């Protein structure tokens, strides 16, 4: 009887030890990722980056054992949805369509939409002239000339009888009025023509103050137009994206944004491919998030040929993704502590990442 009890207890101990081993193995979770510098960087078979460092800190603080599995972006999204991976640590953008498929952690980084475009060569006079002599510029000049003509014609009507020496009859007198109007508006004031009638002088006062406002507005408008063109290179609104050939990465948060606003784009697998397409003139702009584009330009030696222009049209919230709410809750507890710590800013600087304004 004693031996029977001994063997039963021994059997139970073996089964329990097997259960402990099985449970231990079940704690090794599958981590999915897509290489997306500077958040997930692959160099010489080693993984690094802001997202990798963040996940490692979380795993260490929670004693999580894990295995890494690399995917392309679209495959990674399917793997999360189907439960093939427990959590994805690539910088996935939180979107309305994705949040219906799986859950997200608290965002750990927020960035803006941006455009990568080819830089113009210094000293390109033709490009400068095309920027300066735009349709809006010619509209402004025409409107200004029309106002000058109206004031010149009115003053001529007031002055032609009592001041025929300065404001002659006929078409020459109209020209005298236009000359007076232009000189007065520009505040040059040569003094060769000046009204003598009460109505003419009243009109002069009105036109002097009006001219100051008109010239100031025209100057500010031209300066603003040149500045905007210099910075945005023909992209001032979402409508401008529809007029040029753009590229992006399919299945990304940026792609969802472009689809939503019915903006057609060419597909590229990586930011590197998109930057090469800009350099080669295949596309006019590559649209993606500012942090990734800026990193790609600086690390890919594109600084001399490509510039990154941030926009305020769309903000992207980068998070981890998982179909396991319990795991996300556990991750969030550590993630928030890390992001709120003083060391987080040092992590950002380590990869030359700055918070977008």
Higher pLDDT, 16 or 33: 33
188 and 240 both lie in a single domain = no
Peptide bond into 263 cis (omega under 30): no
Last residue of a domain, one of 170, 203, 232: 232
Q: What is the mean pLDDT of residues 166-194?
A: 82
Last residue of a domain, one of 179, 213, 232: 232
Q: Provide the pLDDT confidence category of residue 165 given band limits of 50, 70 and 90.
A: confident
Contact, 321 vs 88, CB < 8 A?
yes
Q: Answer whether residue 98 is part of any domain.
A: yes
92 and 154 both lie in a single domain = no
Q: What is the mean pLDDT of residues 260-287?
A: 94
User: What value does the mean pLDDT of the chain take?
Assistant: 84
Q: Calculate helix-pair angle for 125-132, 198-232, nearest 10 degrees.
A: 130
Per residue in 55-69, pLDDT (tens digit) is 999 999 999 999 999
Q: Provide the pLDDT confidence category of residue 232 given band limits of 50, 70 and 90.
A: very low
* C-alpha span between 181 and 174 (Å, rounded): 11
Q: Answer whether residue 13 is part of any domain.
A: yes
* C-alpha span between 88 and 4 (Å, rounded): 50
Higher pLDDT, 317 or 2: 317
Residue 109 CA neighbour count, 13 Å, CB half? 26
Q: What is the mean pLDDT of residues 158-177?
A: 86
Per residue in 45-96, pLDDT (tens digit) is 899 999 999 999 999 999 999 999 999 999 999 999 999 999 999 999 999 9
Q: Answer whether residue 301 is part of any domain.
A: yes
The structure's pTM equals 0.64
Report which of 205, 185, 182, 187 is spatially closest to residue 195, judged by C-alpha positions.
205
257 and 218 both lie in a single domain = no
pLDDT at 15: 39
Last residue of a domain, one of 232, 255, 274: 232
Lowest mean pLDDT among 114-123, 149-158, 309-318: 114-123
Q: Provide the pLDDT confidence category of residue 243 given band limits of 50, 70 and 90.
A: confident
Q: What is the mean pLDDT of residues 310-320?
A: 90
254 torsion bin: left (phi>0), alpha (psi -120 to 50), beta (else): alpha
Q: Answer whether residue 355 is part of any domain.
A: no
Look at residue 261 and tell me whether its pLDDT is greater than 80.
Answer: yes
Q: Which domain holds residue 269?
A: 118-122+235-315
6 and 79 both lie in a single domain = yes
* C-alpha span between 357 and 315 (Å, rounded): 10
Q: Answer whether residue 356 is part of any domain.
A: no
Q: Answer whether residue 92 is part of any domain.
A: yes
Look at residue 278 and tell me whether its pLDDT is greater than 70.
Answer: yes
CATH number reported for the structural domain that contains residue 29 in this entry:
3.40.190.10
167 and 142 both lie in a single domain = yes
């Amino acid at each position: 009887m004693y031996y029977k009890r001994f063997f039963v207890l021994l059997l139970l101990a073996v089964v329990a030890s097997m259960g402990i081993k099985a449970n231990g193995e079940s704690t090794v979770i599958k981590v999915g990722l897509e290489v997306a510098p500077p958040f997930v960087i692959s160099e010489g078979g080693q993984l690094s980056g802001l997202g990798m460092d963040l996940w490692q800190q979380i795993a260490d603080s929670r004693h999580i054992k894990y295995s890494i599995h690399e995917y392309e972006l679209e495959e990674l999204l399917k793997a999360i949805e189907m439960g093939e991976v427990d959590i994805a640590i690539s910088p996935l953008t939180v979107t309305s369509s994705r949040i219906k498929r799986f859950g997200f952690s608290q965002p750990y980084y927020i960035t803006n939409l941006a455009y990568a475009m080819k830089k113009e060569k210094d000293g390109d006079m033709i490009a400068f002239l095309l920027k300066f002599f735009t349709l809006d510029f010619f509209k402004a000049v025409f409107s200004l000339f029309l106002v000058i003509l109206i004031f010149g014609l009115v003053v001529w009507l007031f002055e032609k009888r009592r001041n025929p020496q300065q404001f002659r009859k006929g078409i020459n007198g109209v020209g005298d009025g236009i000359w007076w109007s232009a000189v007065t508006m520009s505040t040059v004031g040569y003094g060769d023509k000046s009204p003598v009638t009460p109505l003419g002088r009243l009109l002069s006062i009105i036109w002097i103050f009006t001219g100051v406002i008109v010239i100031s507005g025209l100057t500010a408008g031209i300066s603003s137009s040149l500045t905007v063109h210099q910075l945005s290179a023909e992209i001032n609104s979402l409508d401008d994206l529809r007029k040029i050939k753009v590229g992006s990465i399919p299945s990304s948060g940026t792609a969802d944004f472009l689809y939503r606003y019915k903006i057609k784009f060419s597909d590229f697998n990586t930011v590197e491919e998109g930057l090469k397409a800009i350099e080669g003139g295949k596309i006019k702009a590559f649209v993606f998030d500012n942090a990734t584009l800026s990193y790609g330009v600086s690390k890919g030696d594109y600084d001399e040929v490509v510039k990154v222009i941030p926009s305020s049209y769309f903000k992207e919230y980068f998070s981890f993704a998982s179909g396991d709410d319990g795991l996300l809750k556990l991750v969030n507890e550590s993630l928030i502590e890390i992001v709120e710590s003083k060391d987080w800013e040092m992590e950002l600087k380590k990869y030359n990442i700055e918070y977008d304004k």
